Amino acid sequence: MILQIVQTGDPVLRKVARPMSVEEIKSATTRHLIERMRDTMQAAPGVGLAAPQIGESIQLAVIEDRIDYMKDVPSEQLAERQRSPVAFHVIINPKLSIVGEATADFYEGCLSVEGFVAVVRRAENVRVECLNERAEPLTITAHGWYARILQHEIDHLNGTLYIDRMETRSFTTVENI
């Protein structure tokens, strides 16, 4: 079942989402929610979806950057963005750390700011400590586009949208990019 993705202006997108308990993470309700979020993300299509984007103010996001999303992207662009496939996974109660000082500026969009993109500066390297869907501790070290996805989704869990970080004069419609 595809869930409705809330759009900018909905108050849930501006709240800091609450952490999830181990019992809550392991529940059948959360397992079902993760499946529905995965289906919704893939149908959009998107590379990440945070629970606040479907109206749930909890610290949970799903991420997947599928190889078929890259088939029409020139190899030079994939290399410039340091983009490669990322298998489906879940992050819960994440803590983000920036690794080093390297940053990159690229256009970014969002399923909750439909039809628009803007240039956003993000750290090139990050470390995320979180729990997975079984409430097991997980440490993710990421660089390039994957690091950007993690930063974007974790921002959602903290009530921040990419439009808060964008280079304002770069804001444009998808058609005009």
Asked about 24 being catalytic, the answer comes back as: no
Cβ atoms 157, 16 nearer than 8 A: yes
> Among residues 76, 129, 153, 175, which one is catalytic?
153
Residue 98, beta-bridge partner list = 126
Cβ atoms 108, 83 nearer than 8 A: no
Cβ neighbours for 61, distance < 8 A, ≥ 6 positions apart: 48, 49, 50, 51, 90, 91, 94, 153, 154, 156, 157
Q: Which helix (H) or strand (E) element contains residue 65?
A: strand 60-65
Q: How far is CA 140 from the centre of its chain?
A: 14
Active site residues per annotation: 153
